[in-house]
A and B are shown apart, each in its own frame.
Chain A
Amino acid sequence: MTTLRIGLLGGGGMASTHLRSLLRMPDAQVMGVSAPLVDPAVSDLCARAGIPVKDDRSWLLTGCDLDAVVIATPTDSHAELIAQAAEAGLDVFCEKPLARTTAEARAAVEGCRQAGVKLAVGHVVRYFAAYSRIRHAVVQGEIGPPGLATCRRVSGPPSGAREWYGDPQRSGGVIMDMGVHDLDWLRWCLGPVTRLSAIQSPLAPGSVAMITLRHAGGALSHVQLSWMDPKGFATAVEVSGPGGLLRHDSRDSQALQVDGWPGAAAPDAGRDDGTVGDDDPYLAELTDAVAWWSGGPPPRCRAEDGVAAVALAEAALRSALLREPVEFDDEPVEDVA
């Protein structure tokens, strides 16, 4: 088995998730982490695993003899970092959204193509068991031709180290940051999008949004997004058709629910001993990417799908601004219902 030498760009929440996954993978070796701001979760993991951490990006990209890099930085930095990694000849896994704008996302894909490096994108919802199970059932025709899909994704407001999320210029707000997950999954499940219409309230810019999509096969879908849920992060999805309904709600689908007293830190035993999560979608998406870099089949989400998801989110932002439906010129999608 070849071991890939991998660098990690970013020091926040998703960086720590990906770092944990990489440390569990026998065919990946983390050579270093580079970020201007590093959460304690990341620095603790690095200290324990003997992984160097520096702010200096060129040290990581060109001084560590890497095979590939994982990018988990704020959205508006993705395009530039992908370009630098491609220039250094590294394969790339980039956290979603692939870039802040469609033009940047297209340039990133083109840059990687020209440099001959592989670009994977972290549309992890494709790896969540319930979402992939529903998509499988829909594609298999279990409910007949799909009629309407509704996706809901909510969380509390961005805060603390996540501050940059709250700046719509940097993150694209709920539509680009969270909606891009559901937009990608809906496209994967129901096929190319022909038209969409979105609304956002000026009372809470970037914090709540709804999007309606029309798919080429005739199905409708609806996305509800909010950063205003005091109960915290949750997702729900349902798809209905003439043969019935498929649904999943993360809030009633937890195998383990842990609650602490109000005001106290939530009880946490950590996830670091490498035994949690047979069914860990974050581990699965990185495992697929590393296998691809090592010569295996491409992952579930192609870089072009990542571009399409950004383009959908951008079209939704435009539609909300115009208060008008927007026609969408989509690429074909593989294996849809």
Chain B
Amino acid sequence: MTARLPLAVLGVGHVHAPGYLRRLLARPDVKVVGLYDDDPATLRRVAADTGVDSFASPDACLERGRAVLVCSEPTRQRRLVELAAAASRPTLCEKPLGTTPVESRALLKAAARVPLSVALPVRYHSAARQLRRLVQASALGTVVAVWASNRNSFPGGWFADPARAGGGCLLDHVVHVADLLRWIWGAEFETVTAEDGVRHRPGLAVEDTAVVQVNCTGGLIATIDPSMSRPRGMPGALDLVVEAWGEQGSATLDLFAPRVERVGEDGRIARLPVGDDMDAAMLDAWLHSVVEEEAPPVPAADAFAATALSFAAKEAAVSHRAVRVVA
């Protein structure tokens, strides 16, 4: 058996960090050698939960690793990825790719120096892959329109803090669908219009409600609902649905539909997901690319293009004008 890949984790403040860490710690081919976070309390908590050594400086932490996972809150991504790139460590960065066009471009630049993959795990769900194959085989005929949603209930925590989140639901939730539109249809975005607001968590400093409409190359049109609009405790609050209307048929991708439901004696319904573990599959593909020294499986350029739709949608919502998407 080959030696375990030493992996340093820079930034553990993102909500996805515990899930990624749990999967990484269960792997026999990886050793998580260190954790770092800009916030000492977060670092202490995650280090205590996982039993992994914590480091007071990101440089000392990444020194220990041969590869780096950056799973910080969005505004902290850029600095950590640039440190990893300066140390020539292949890196997996949580989405989105930066919180402003300037940050996003800086992260794309970092990707020129080091293999940089971005955590867009939906690509690894077998149903998403099957939809892509259907579309590529023209099995639905020409697909004319896509209705998509990626909604949840407002998660709280740093999502309410613009200094860490860098934006609202337009930044956090548009990118998954944007990436699917590009990855499945090969579409590029032309113009976007959007409306947004704070309609579910009064007083929130970032938008929690939005609707995005986008014209793509080749004539495909799409709407995306990225709202944090679902009641807290609603079964299935988190969704990712892509409905495609083709000339010869329709397809609905509903990633979190496969489930067992557990109804408690109090009537509360919990959904137990079953089936694909797309996070595990994504980590697997990335680790494979690191060990085999292959190209990053989800290139930063793709995340850059997906995140560009978020920026353009926000600009459109503010300006009340259609915005040309620059990627």
Does B bind A? yes
B41 to chain A, nearest CB (A): 34
The residue in chain A whose Cβ has the minimal distance to the Cβ of B259 is A253
A264–B140 alpha-carbon span in the complex (Å): 11
Chain B residues with CB under 8 A of A244: 262-265
Question: A133, A246, A260, A278: which contacts B277 (Cβ < 8 A)?
Answer: A278
Contact with A along B268-290 (1 / 0, CB 8 A): 00001011110001000000000
Asked whether, in the complex, the Cβ of B281 is within 8 Å of the Cβ of A255, the reply is: no
B129 to chain A, nearest CB (A): 6
Residue total for A at the interface (Cβ-Cβ under 8 A)? 37
Chain B residues with CB under 8 A of A2: none
Question: Total number of A-B contacts with CB less than 8 angstroms?
Answer: 117
Known: A257-B251, A269-B136, A269-B137. A134 touches B260 (CB 8 A): yes
Residue total for B at the interface (Cβ-Cβ under 8 A)? 36
Question: A247, A253, A256, A279: which contacts B131 (Cβ < 8 A)?
Answer: A256
Q: Which of chain B's residues 111-149 have a Cβ closer than 8 Å to chain A? A: 125-127, 129-131, 133-134, 136-137, 139-140
| CB of B254 closer than 8 Å to a CB of A | yes
The residue in chain A whose Cβ has the minimal distance to the Cβ of B250 is A259
Question: B133, B258, B260, B264: which contacts A255 (Cβ < 8 A)?
Answer: B258
Chain A residues with CB under 8 A of B263: 244-247
Question: A130, A143, A267, A277: which contacts B140 (Cβ < 8 A)?
Answer: A267
| CB of A268 closer than 8 Å to a CB of B | yes
Residue of A143, A245, A267, A277 with most chain B CB atoms under a 10 A cut-off:
A267
Q: Which of chain A's residues 253-285 have a Cβ closer than 8 Å to chain B? A: 253-261, 264, 266-271, 273, 275-279
| CB of B162 closer than 8 Å to a CB of A | no
A244–B262 alpha-carbon span in the complex (Å): 7
The residue in chain A whose Cβ has the minimal distance to the Cβ of B256 is A255
The residue in chain B whose Cβ has the minimal distance to the Cβ of A255 is B127
Q: A interface, by DSSP: helix, strand, loop or mixed? A: loop
B30 to chain A, nearest CB (A): 19
Asked whether, in the complex, the Cβ of A246 is within 8 Å of the Cβ of B261, the reply is: yes
Known: A256-B251, A257-B254, A269-B133. 20 other contacts (CB 8 A): A129-B274, A129-B275, A243-B264, A245-B261, A245-B262, A247-B263, A253-B258, A255-B127, A255-B258, A256-B131, A257-B251, A258-B252, A259-B249, A259-B250, A261-B248, A269-B139, A270-B133, A273-B133, A278-B126, A278-B281
6 A-B pairs closest in CB distance:
A255-B127, A129-B274, A267-B139, A256-B127, A260-B249, A269-B133
Pairs A–B under 8 Å by Cβ, sample size 24 = A129-B258, A129-B275, A130-B274, A133-B274, A242-B265, A243-B264, A243-B265, A245-B262, A248-B261, A253-B259, A255-B127, A255-B257, A256-B127, A256-B253, A258-B249, A258-B252, A260-B249, A267-B134, A267-B246, A269-B133, A270-B137, A271-B130, A276-B129, A276-B133
Residues of chain A whose beta carbon lies under 8 Å from any beta carbon of chain B: 129-130, 133-134, 137, 142-143, 242-248, 252-261, 264, 266-271, 273, 275-279
